Amino acid sequence: MTWVNPQVTIHNAEIAGQTVDGTFVFPSDIIVEFETRTEEFFQSSGRTPALMSVVLDWIQDETDDDVDSSIRQELSIDVGAGIHAITLDFRGYTGSPYQWGDSGEGGTPTDATGEDLHAQMAVFDRYLQAARIDSTNPAILEVGEYSEAGRYSPLQVVPENPDVVFDSTEQSSIYDGSVTWVETLSLEESLDGAKQTLG
């Protein structure tokens, strides 16, 4: 597929007396990092060595395989724990034509498209503060093949450590940003269904 700038849509932000959905298309100098943070099911402390020994003995008895008894090996079982995260580093600039809010037109408390860098930074920050972004109301991230035009569906995500920086000693019309988006399970449809049932 042709490269398309990543974008995130933040839903249900309460800004200036309105409930709005804002789409932010990351403008330039984009660095994308895909990360999978794994978690061990067994830890090498406490009762784990005894438990591991029991499991290994059972595997050997059931399969007749010669299981190595080295005390420096760990037993690993993937139970799906861990985190899938995408970090986006980007650069924004005054006058950027990329959509930065709910309308793509700028000039409002909910949209800073085409405006100066201070307006863009403030609007993005306001959405992050004014929306409850969690499993009941995840943001939607489109990046690379995880997009409407790609081979996988867009990702439902929550932000981790969002950061935008303007350094007046270095630049006059450019700011840098970085956000890690962590994939999350969406409970939105389940909760809506439960409300309808109770209603």
pTM over 0.85: no
User: By the 8 A CB rule, do 75 and 55 touch?
Assistant: yes
User: By the 8 A CB rule, do 20 and 104 touch?
Assistant: no
Boundaries of every domain in the chain: 7-36+81-198, 41-80
Residue 41 pLDDT > 60: no
Q: CA 122, CA 109: separation in Å to the nearest integer? A: 9
pLDDT one-digit tens code per residue, 146-183: 999 999 999 999 999 999 999 998 888 999 999 999 99
Beta-carbon contacts of residue 50 (< 8 Å; ≥ 6 apart): none
Closest residue by Cα to residue 42 from 53, 58, 34: 53
- Percent with pLDDT over 70 in the chain: 72
Which region holds residue 163: left if phi is over 0, alpha if psi is between -120 and 50, else beta?
beta
